[in-house]
Chains A and B, each alone.
Chain A
Amino acid sequence: MLVNIALREWPNKWPDMVDLLLNNLASRGLTELQFALNVFRRLSEDVSNAFENADATAKTAQPYAAPSAVDTTARTLPRSRQKAIVEALTNLARDRLINDLVHAIAAHSHALMQQGVSNEEKAAHQAVLLMALNTLYAFTEWAPLEYVSFFLTFLSYVR
C-alpha cells in the first residue's frame, strides 16, 4: 500500500517520505529497516518494469494499459509522474541510498559471521542482508552506473 501511495504522491506531495522511512522507521529495528528497504526495492523494480514495458510497447505498439484504481504501478502512471519518480529515485541513489545499503550489507554480514549469534538473531540479520542485497540489485538494473557502482570505490574502507 505504501508503494502505491508513493507512486502517486512522492516526491512532490510527500517530500519527507525518505526521512520517514530511512531515518524514523529504519532506526526502530531490523524488521522496520527491512520494511523501509522493501519500499525502495519495490519502487525501483516498478520503475525498471516500466522501462522494459516502454521498450516492448515501442517495439510492438501494444495498446496503452488503463490504470487500475486499486493497484498502481509505474507503468500505469502518466509520463510526467514516471519521470518525477525516476528522478527522485536517481537522486536518492546518488545522495544516500547506495551508501546506506552498503553500510547495511557490511554491518549485517559482520553480525552474521560473528561467533555466538543465536539462531533468531542470525535469521533477522540474514533477512535484512537479503533485503539490502535485493534492493541494491533492483537499483543496479536501471540507475546510472556512476552512482550504483560508486560503492566499489569505498567498500574496501568499510569494516
Chain B
Amino acid sequence: MDVFVQLLSYPDVTIALPVSDVLVQLLTRATRETPCKGRFLMLFPRLPLVGNALRASSQTLQNVMNNERLSEQNSAYRHHRRLCQVVVLLASIQLDLWNPKHLPPNYELLLDLLLEVTAHPSLNVTILALQFWKRAIAHQTYRTVRVPPPLVFLCARSY
C-alpha cells in the first residue's frame, strides 16, 4: 500500500495520474457497494501520504496556472482533482461506517484536508467537498444528534 500511495506523489504526473485514477475508481465503487467498504478504511494510516501528494500537486498547479488555463485536458489539474476526490470519498466511506468510539487513525488530518478542499479556489473542486457536507448533514445516523459528528469534531477542536 505504501508503495502504491507513494506513487501519488511521483514527480511525473503520467505515473501519478493512473494511481489516483485507480484509487478514485475503487473508492467511488466502494461508496455504492456495501460489502467491501470497511476494507477502504485501511487507507487511513496512509492519509499523510495522500495529504503530501495533495499539497505537492497543489503547488505544481500554482506553477501551471501561471502559464495556462486549467481544464480537464491538463494532467496536473486532473491528478489534483482526483486527489481531492480521494479525500472526499474516504470521508464519505468513513461517514457511512461512522463509529464515534472507533475513529480511524488520522481522522483530524482528514478533516483538515476536507477543509482545504472546501476552501479550494476552483469551484469544480469545492463542489466535491460540499457534496460530502450535504450528505453529512442529511445522514440519518445523525438525526438524533442534530449536528453531524464531523462538524461537532471540528467545532470542538476549534475551542
Contacts and interface: CB of A to CB of B under 8 A. Distances in A.
B128 interface: no
A140 B4 CA distance: 15
Contacts of A146: 35-36
A18 to B, nearest CB: 22
Interface stretch (A3-11, A59-67, A78-86, A131-139): A131-139
A129 B19 CA distance: 10
Interface bin, chain B: 20 to 34
Interface stretch (A26-34, A50-58, A69-77, A104-112): A104-112
B127 interface: no
Given A109-B6, A126-B12, A155-B1, A145 B18 contact: no
Interface string B17-53: 0110110011001100101100110110000000000
A102 B5 CA distance: 12
A102 B3 CA distance: 10
A68 interface: no
A110 B3 contact: yes
A48 to B, nearest CB: 11
Interface string B80-94: 000000000000000
Interface in A122-159: 126, 129-130, 133-134, 136-137, 140-141, 145-146, 148-149, 151-153, 155-156, 158-159
Nearest to B35: A146
B25 to A, nearest CB: 4
Given A105-B4, A149-B26, A149-B39, A137 B21 contact: yes
B113 interface: no
Nearest to B21: A137
Contacts of A148: 26
Nearest to B3: A106
B2 A156 contact: yes
Given A106-B3, A145-B36, A148-B26, A129 B15 contact: yes
Contact of B22 (A109, A136, A153): A136
A159 B6 CA distance: 12
Contact of B3 (A105, A136, A141): A105
B7 interface: yes
Contacts of B1: 152, 155-156
19 contacts: A106-B4, A109-B6, A126-B12, A129-B15, A130-B15, A133-B19, A133-B22, A137-B18, A140-B25, A140-B26, A140-B29, A146-B35, A149-B39, A152-B40, A152-B42, A152-B43, A153-B42, A156-B1, A156-B42
Interface of A: 102, 105-106, 109-110, 126, 129-130, 133-134, 136-137, 140-141, 145-146, 148-149, 151-153, 155-156, 158-159
Nearest 4 Cβ contacts at the A-B interface: A155-B1, A133-B18, A156-B1, A140-B25
Given A141-B25, A149-B40, 8 more contacts: A105-B3, A105-B4, A106-B3, A126-B15, A133-B15, A140-B26, A140-B29, A158-B3
